[in-house]
Amino acid sequence: MDLSSLHSKEVVQRAAGLLRKIAPDEKLRFLHVCGTHENTITRYGIRSMLPESIEVVAGPGCPVCVTSTSAIDQAIEIAEKYATVYTYGDMFTVPGSNGSLKDARAGGAGVKVVYSVSDAVGLAEESGAPSTFFSIGFETTAPTTASAVLSGVPDNLSFITSHRLIPPALMALLKSGRIELDGLICPGHVSTIIGTEPYRFLVEDFGIPVAVSGFEPLDVIISLIDLVKQQQEGSPRVYNEYTRSVRPEGNRVALEMMEEVFEVCDEEWRGIGSLPASGLRLGEGYSHLDAVERFDLEEKPSLDMPAGCRCSEVLLGSVQPTDCPLFSSGCSPDNPVGPCMVSSEGTCKIWFQYGGRRDY
Protein backbone atom coordinates (compact mmCIF):
# COMPACT_ATOMS: atom_id res chain seq x y z
CA MET A 1 0.00 0.00 0.00
CA ASP A 2 1.13 3.54 -0.76
CA LEU A 3 1.32 4.94 2.78
CA SER A 4 0.40 8.44 1.60
CA SER A 5 -3.09 7.13 0.83
CA LEU A 6 -3.61 6.49 4.54
CA HIS A 7 -3.75 10.27 5.02
CA SER A 8 -5.60 11.18 1.82
CA LYS A 9 -8.95 12.84 2.53
CA GLU A 10 -10.23 11.77 -0.89
CA VAL A 11 -9.30 8.12 -0.36
CA VAL A 12 -10.76 8.08 3.16
CA GLN A 13 -14.03 9.61 1.96
CA ARG A 14 -14.23 7.12 -0.90
CA ALA A 15 -13.70 4.22 1.52
CA ALA A 16 -16.35 5.62 3.84
CA GLY A 17 -18.72 5.81 0.89
CA LEU A 18 -18.13 2.12 0.18
CA LEU A 19 -18.83 1.32 3.83
CA ARG A 20 -22.13 3.19 3.67
CA LYS A 21 -23.01 1.40 0.44
CA ILE A 22 -22.53 -2.12 1.82
CA ALA A 23 -23.90 -1.43 5.30
CA PRO A 24 -26.92 -3.58 6.22
CA ASP A 25 -30.22 -2.25 7.50
CA GLU A 26 -29.87 -4.04 10.83
CA LYS A 27 -27.76 -2.49 13.55
CA LEU A 28 -24.16 -3.64 13.97
CA ARG A 29 -22.16 -2.79 17.07
CA PHE A 30 -18.38 -2.92 16.78
CA LEU A 31 -16.05 -2.58 19.75
CA HIS A 32 -12.41 -1.55 19.85
CA VAL A 33 -10.02 -1.83 22.80
CA CYS A 34 -7.34 0.74 22.06
CA GLY A 35 -6.98 4.36 23.13
CA THR A 36 -5.10 5.20 19.95
CA HIS A 37 -7.97 3.87 17.85
CA GLU A 38 -10.40 6.02 19.84
CA ASN A 39 -8.14 9.00 19.25
CA THR A 40 -8.23 8.39 15.48
CA ILE A 41 -11.98 7.77 15.40
CA THR A 42 -12.84 10.86 17.44
CA ARG A 43 -10.17 13.24 16.20
CA TYR A 44 -11.00 12.67 12.54
CA GLY A 45 -14.77 12.50 12.99
CA ILE A 46 -15.04 8.94 11.67
CA ARG A 47 -18.30 8.30 13.53
CA SER A 48 -19.92 11.13 11.55
CA MET A 49 -18.98 9.29 8.34
CA LEU A 50 -20.61 6.00 9.33
CA PRO A 51 -24.06 4.83 8.25
CA GLU A 52 -26.71 4.92 10.97
CA SER A 53 -26.72 1.15 11.22
CA ILE A 54 -23.08 0.95 12.35
CA GLU A 55 -22.00 1.89 15.85
CA VAL A 56 -18.37 1.91 17.00
CA VAL A 57 -17.74 2.03 20.75
CA ALA A 58 -14.63 2.10 22.90
CA GLY A 59 -13.90 -0.74 25.32
CA PRO A 60 -11.23 -1.16 28.03
CA GLY A 61 -8.30 -0.05 25.89
CA CYS A 62 -6.61 2.37 28.28
CA PRO A 63 -4.09 0.72 30.63
CA VAL A 64 -3.88 3.75 32.92
CA CYS A 65 -7.66 3.79 33.27
CA VAL A 66 -7.89 0.17 34.42
CA THR A 67 -4.94 0.27 36.84
CA SER A 68 -6.40 -0.58 40.24
CA THR A 69 -6.59 1.89 43.10
CA SER A 70 -4.79 -0.77 45.15
CA ALA A 71 -1.67 -0.48 42.97
CA ILE A 72 -1.84 3.33 43.00
CA ASP A 73 -2.23 3.40 46.78
CA GLN A 74 0.75 1.05 47.19
CA ALA A 75 2.86 3.31 44.98
CA ILE A 76 1.85 6.31 47.10
CA GLU A 77 2.69 4.46 50.33
CA ILE A 78 6.13 3.56 48.98
CA ALA A 79 6.76 7.16 47.89
CA GLU A 80 5.72 8.50 51.28
CA LYS A 81 7.66 6.01 53.42
CA TYR A 82 10.28 3.97 51.65
CA ALA A 83 11.59 4.99 48.21
CA THR A 84 11.44 7.34 45.27
CA VAL A 85 8.73 6.17 42.87
CA TYR A 86 9.29 6.60 39.14
CA THR A 87 6.16 6.64 37.00
CA TYR A 88 4.83 7.59 33.58
CA GLY A 89 3.24 11.00 33.13
CA ASP A 90 -0.28 9.65 32.63
CA MET A 91 -0.06 7.65 35.86
CA PHE A 92 1.12 10.67 37.82
CA THR A 93 -2.30 12.31 38.09
CA VAL A 94 -4.65 9.29 38.24
CA PRO A 95 -6.64 9.39 41.50
CA GLY A 96 -6.25 6.47 43.88
CA SER A 97 -8.57 5.93 46.82
CA ASN A 98 -7.22 9.05 48.55
CA GLY A 99 -5.38 11.22 46.07
CA SER A 100 -2.83 10.75 43.31
CA LEU A 101 0.94 10.43 43.08
CA LYS A 102 0.93 14.11 42.11
CA ASP A 103 -0.86 14.94 45.35
CA ALA A 104 1.62 12.78 47.26
CA ARG A 105 4.57 14.63 45.73
CA ALA A 106 3.00 17.95 46.67
CA GLY A 107 2.93 16.63 50.22
CA GLY A 108 6.64 15.83 50.16
CA ALA A 109 6.68 12.24 48.87
CA GLY A 110 9.40 11.10 46.47
CA VAL A 111 7.80 10.87 43.02
CA LYS A 112 9.44 11.50 39.65
CA VAL A 113 7.97 11.29 36.14
CA VAL A 114 9.98 9.32 33.57
CA TYR A 115 9.48 8.43 29.92
CA SER A 116 10.71 4.83 30.12
CA VAL A 117 11.90 2.06 32.40
CA SER A 118 15.45 2.74 31.21
CA ASP A 119 15.15 6.28 32.61
CA ALA A 120 14.15 4.79 35.97
CA VAL A 121 17.09 2.37 35.88
CA GLY A 122 19.53 5.20 35.13
CA LEU A 123 18.17 7.49 37.84
CA ALA A 124 18.21 4.67 40.39
CA GLU A 125 21.85 3.93 39.55
CA GLU A 126 22.77 7.61 39.90
CA SER A 127 21.04 8.10 43.23
CA GLY A 128 21.89 4.82 44.93
CA ALA A 129 18.80 5.42 47.09
CA PRO A 130 15.80 3.08 47.38
CA SER A 131 13.83 3.38 44.14
CA THR A 132 10.68 1.83 42.67
CA PHE A 133 9.40 1.82 39.11
CA PHE A 134 5.61 1.74 38.74
CA SER A 135 5.36 -0.49 35.68
CA ILE A 136 1.99 -0.45 33.92
CA GLY A 137 0.57 -1.19 30.49
CA PHE A 138 -0.69 -3.92 28.21
CA GLU A 139 1.40 -6.40 26.23
CA THR A 140 2.95 -3.43 24.43
CA THR A 141 5.01 -2.16 27.37
CA ALA A 142 5.57 -5.38 29.32
CA PRO A 143 8.52 -6.46 27.10
CA THR A 144 10.43 -3.26 27.87
CA THR A 145 10.16 -3.97 31.59
CA ALA A 146 11.15 -7.59 31.02
CA SER A 147 14.14 -6.51 28.93
CA ALA A 148 15.34 -4.17 31.67
CA VAL A 149 15.05 -6.91 34.29
CA LEU A 150 16.95 -9.39 32.11
CA SER A 151 19.67 -6.83 31.40
CA GLY A 152 20.18 -6.34 35.11
CA VAL A 153 18.95 -3.54 37.36
CA PRO A 154 20.63 -1.95 40.39
CA ASP A 155 19.95 -3.60 43.75
CA ASN A 156 18.20 -0.48 45.02
CA LEU A 157 15.50 -0.65 42.31
CA SER A 158 12.24 -2.56 42.73
CA PHE A 159 9.04 -2.77 40.69
CA ILE A 160 5.31 -2.45 41.15
CA THR A 161 4.10 -4.48 38.18
CA SER A 162 0.61 -3.70 36.97
CA HIS A 163 0.60 -5.11 33.45
CA ARG A 164 -2.60 -6.45 31.89
CA LEU A 165 -3.40 -8.83 29.04
CA ILE A 166 -6.03 -8.05 26.41
CA PRO A 167 -7.17 -11.50 25.10
CA PRO A 168 -7.92 -13.04 28.53
CA ALA A 169 -9.81 -9.91 29.54
CA LEU A 170 -11.94 -10.09 26.40
CA MET A 171 -12.65 -13.76 27.04
CA ALA A 172 -13.74 -13.10 30.62
CA LEU A 173 -15.97 -10.17 29.66
CA LEU A 174 -17.61 -12.09 26.82
CA LYS A 175 -18.25 -15.12 29.03
CA SER A 176 -19.85 -12.87 31.63
CA GLY A 177 -22.08 -11.17 29.06
CA ARG A 178 -20.92 -7.74 30.19
CA ILE A 179 -19.98 -6.61 26.68
CA GLU A 180 -22.10 -6.99 23.56
CA LEU A 181 -20.61 -6.74 20.10
CA ASP A 182 -21.00 -7.86 16.50
CA GLY A 183 -17.32 -7.48 15.70
CA LEU A 184 -14.05 -6.47 17.28
CA ILE A 185 -11.33 -4.08 16.14
CA CYS A 186 -8.19 -5.43 17.81
CA PRO A 187 -5.36 -3.13 18.93
CA GLY A 188 -2.46 -2.72 16.55
CA HIS A 189 0.25 -2.01 19.11
CA VAL A 190 -0.63 -5.00 21.29
CA SER A 191 -0.87 -7.18 18.19
CA THR A 192 2.66 -6.30 17.06
CA ILE A 193 3.76 -8.16 20.20
CA ILE A 194 1.27 -11.04 20.50
CA GLY A 195 0.36 -11.50 16.81
CA THR A 196 -3.08 -12.46 15.52
CA GLU A 197 -3.45 -16.03 16.76
CA PRO A 198 -4.45 -15.14 20.36
CA TYR A 199 -7.69 -13.65 18.97
CA ARG A 200 -8.78 -16.86 17.29
CA PHE A 201 -10.92 -17.87 20.26
CA LEU A 202 -13.19 -14.91 19.47
CA VAL A 203 -14.02 -16.54 16.14
CA GLU A 204 -14.06 -20.17 17.22
CA ASP A 205 -15.75 -19.85 20.62
CA PHE A 206 -17.97 -16.81 20.15
CA GLY A 207 -18.42 -16.47 16.37
CA ILE A 208 -17.25 -12.85 16.48
CA PRO A 209 -15.63 -11.24 13.41
CA VAL A 210 -12.20 -9.77 14.15
CA ALA A 211 -10.06 -7.16 12.40
CA VAL A 212 -6.58 -6.22 13.61
CA SER A 213 -6.29 -2.58 12.58
CA GLY A 214 -3.68 0.11 12.09
CA PHE A 215 -4.20 3.62 13.38
CA GLU A 216 -4.81 5.86 10.40
CA PRO A 217 -8.37 6.81 9.41
CA LEU A 218 -8.19 4.60 6.32
CA ASP A 219 -6.99 1.65 8.43
CA VAL A 220 -10.04 1.93 10.66
CA ILE A 221 -12.53 2.25 7.80
CA ILE A 222 -11.00 -0.69 5.89
CA SER A 223 -11.27 -2.75 9.08
CA LEU A 224 -14.93 -1.77 9.47
CA ILE A 225 -15.62 -2.72 5.85
CA ASP A 226 -14.14 -6.16 6.46
CA LEU A 227 -16.14 -6.65 9.67
CA VAL A 228 -19.34 -5.83 7.79
CA LYS A 229 -18.42 -8.29 5.03
CA GLN A 230 -17.68 -10.99 7.60
CA GLN A 231 -21.13 -10.45 9.10
CA GLN A 232 -22.82 -10.53 5.71
CA GLU A 233 -20.99 -13.69 4.65
CA GLY A 234 -21.69 -15.39 7.96
CA SER A 235 -18.06 -16.47 8.07
CA PRO A 236 -16.15 -14.82 10.93
CA ARG A 237 -12.36 -14.84 10.79
CA VAL A 238 -9.32 -12.98 12.08
CA TYR A 239 -8.50 -10.37 9.44
CA ASN A 240 -5.12 -8.64 9.69
CA GLU A 241 -5.47 -5.19 8.16
CA TYR A 242 -2.25 -4.02 9.81
CA THR A 243 0.08 -6.29 7.85
CA ARG A 244 2.75 -3.60 7.63
CA SER A 245 3.47 -4.13 11.35
CA VAL A 246 1.68 -7.26 12.61
CA ARG A 247 2.64 -10.87 11.93
CA PRO A 248 0.51 -13.90 12.88
CA GLU A 249 3.19 -15.16 15.28
CA GLY A 250 3.88 -11.74 16.80
CA ASN A 251 7.27 -10.73 18.13
CA ARG A 252 8.84 -13.94 19.43
CA VAL A 253 11.77 -12.19 21.11
CA ALA A 254 9.45 -9.91 23.08
CA LEU A 255 7.15 -12.79 24.01
CA GLU A 256 10.04 -14.93 25.21
CA MET A 257 11.31 -12.11 27.44
CA MET A 258 7.84 -11.70 28.94
CA GLU A 259 7.54 -15.45 29.54
CA GLU A 260 10.94 -15.51 31.26
CA VAL A 261 10.33 -12.60 33.63
CA PHE A 262 6.59 -12.69 34.34
CA GLU A 263 3.94 -15.20 35.30
CA VAL A 264 0.25 -14.88 34.52
CA CYS A 265 -2.10 -13.99 37.38
CA ASP A 266 -5.64 -12.87 38.03
CA GLU A 267 -5.81 -9.09 37.96
CA GLU A 268 -8.12 -6.33 39.14
CA TRP A 269 -9.30 -4.01 36.36
CA ARG A 270 -10.52 -0.75 37.80
CA GLY A 271 -14.24 -0.29 37.29
CA ILE A 272 -14.58 -3.81 35.93
CA GLY A 273 -13.41 -6.19 38.66
CA SER A 274 -11.05 -9.13 38.92
CA LEU A 275 -10.54 -10.95 35.61
CA PRO A 276 -8.88 -14.38 35.57
CA ALA A 277 -5.43 -14.80 34.01
CA SER A 278 -5.48 -11.20 32.76
CA GLY A 279 -2.38 -9.83 34.49
CA LEU A 280 1.36 -10.29 34.81
CA ARG A 281 3.45 -10.38 37.97
CA LEU A 282 7.15 -10.98 38.46
CA GLY A 283 7.95 -14.68 38.27
CA GLU A 284 9.55 -16.74 41.01
CA GLY A 285 13.09 -16.05 39.86
CA TYR A 286 12.52 -12.29 39.98
CA SER A 287 10.23 -11.90 42.99
CA HIS A 288 13.08 -10.23 44.93
CA LEU A 289 12.44 -7.20 42.70
CA ASP A 290 8.79 -6.99 43.78
CA ALA A 291 8.32 -3.74 45.69
CA VAL A 292 5.28 -5.05 47.56
CA GLU A 293 7.38 -7.89 48.98
CA ARG A 294 10.49 -5.77 49.51
CA PHE A 295 8.67 -3.21 51.63
CA ASP A 296 6.26 -5.75 53.15
CA LEU A 297 3.16 -3.85 52.05
CA GLU A 298 -0.32 -4.98 52.93
CA GLU A 299 -2.73 -5.65 50.08
CA LYS A 300 -5.04 -2.67 49.91
CA PRO A 301 -8.70 -2.95 48.94
CA SER A 302 -9.38 -1.85 45.39
CA LEU A 303 -12.14 0.69 45.07
CA ASP A 304 -14.39 1.41 42.12
CA MET A 305 -14.85 4.81 40.49
CA PRO A 306 -15.64 7.95 42.51
CA ALA A 307 -19.28 8.80 43.22
CA GLY A 308 -21.10 10.08 40.15
CA CYS A 309 -18.35 8.97 37.76
CA ARG A 310 -19.47 6.63 34.94
CA CYS A 311 -15.98 5.69 33.82
CA SER A 312 -16.62 2.00 34.56
CA GLU A 313 -19.51 2.03 32.07
CA VAL A 314 -17.43 3.95 29.52
CA LEU A 315 -14.74 1.26 29.79
CA LEU A 316 -17.28 -1.42 28.91
CA GLY A 317 -18.75 0.57 26.03
CA SER A 318 -22.12 0.73 27.81
CA VAL A 319 -22.28 4.53 27.70
CA GLN A 320 -20.50 7.35 25.91
CA PRO A 321 -18.53 9.98 27.85
CA THR A 322 -21.20 12.62 27.25
CA ASP A 323 -23.71 10.39 29.08
CA CYS A 324 -21.83 11.09 32.31
CA PRO A 325 -23.23 14.09 34.23
CA LEU A 326 -19.70 15.07 35.30
CA PHE A 327 -18.29 15.23 31.77
CA SER A 328 -16.79 18.69 31.01
CA SER A 329 -18.44 20.21 34.07
CA GLY A 330 -17.25 18.59 37.28
CA CYS A 331 -14.67 16.49 35.44
CA SER A 332 -12.06 17.79 33.01
CA PRO A 333 -8.38 17.07 32.20
CA ASP A 334 -7.36 19.86 34.58
CA ASN A 335 -9.57 18.47 37.34
CA PRO A 336 -10.20 14.77 36.61
CA VAL A 337 -12.63 12.82 38.75
CA GLY A 338 -12.14 9.44 37.08
CA PRO A 339 -9.15 7.91 35.28
CA CYS A 340 -10.79 8.05 31.83
CA MET A 341 -10.29 11.83 31.89
CA VAL A 342 -6.59 11.60 32.81
CA SER A 343 -4.77 9.50 30.25
CA SER A 344 -4.13 10.47 26.64
CA GLU A 345 -5.67 7.06 25.87
CA GLY A 346 -8.72 7.65 28.05
CA THR A 347 -11.98 7.89 26.13
CA CYS A 348 -13.28 10.82 28.18
CA LYS A 349 -10.13 12.89 27.71
CA ILE A 350 -10.15 12.16 23.97
CA TRP A 351 -13.79 13.24 23.69
CA PHE A 352 -13.09 16.36 25.74
CA GLN A 353 -10.20 17.27 23.44
CA TYR A 354 -11.65 16.34 20.05
CA GLY A 355 -15.41 15.97 20.50
CA GLY A 356 -17.35 17.33 17.55
CA ARG A 357 -14.29 17.75 15.36
CA ARG A 358 -14.41 16.51 11.79
CA ASP A 359 -11.27 16.64 9.67
CA TYR A 360 -12.55 14.32 6.94
d(CA 185, CA 35): 12
Q: How many helices (H) and strands (E) does the chain have?
A: 16, 11
Q: Check residue 359 and give its pLDDT.
A: 54
Helix, strand, or coil (residue 109) = coil
- Confidence band for 304, pLDDT divided at 50, 70 and 90: confident
Q: What is the mean pLDDT of residues 75-96?
A: 96
Q: In CATH, which superfamily holds the domain spanning 29-354?
A: HypD, alpha/beta domain 1 (3.40.50.11750)
Q: Check residue 14 and give its pLDDT.
A: 96
Do residues 159 and 211 touch, judged by C-beta distance below 8 A?
no
pLDDT tens string 21-57: 999 999 999 999 999 999 999 999 999 999 999 999 9
- Most distant CA pair in the chain, distance: 65
Q: Answer yes or no: is pLDDT of 360 > 70.
A: no
d(CA 267, CA 357): 36
Do residues 102 and 111 touch, judged by C-beta distance below 8 A?
yes
Taking the alpha carbons of 339, 341, 344, 348 in that order, is the dihedral positive or negative?
A: positive
What's CA 145's distance to the chain center, in Å? 16
pLDDT tens string 102-155: 999 999 999 999 999 999 999 999 999 999 999 999 999 999 999 999 999 999
Q: Where are the domains of the chain?
A: 29-354
pLDDT tens string 53-69: 999 999 999 999 999 99
Q: Check residue 302 and give its pLDDT.
A: 79
pTM of the model: 0.94
User: Amino acid identity, residue 230?
Assistant: Q
The alpha carbon torsion through 341, 343, 347, 351 (nearest 10 deg) reads 70
d(CA 70, CA 96): 7
- Confidence band for 232, pLDDT divided at 50, 70 and 90: very high
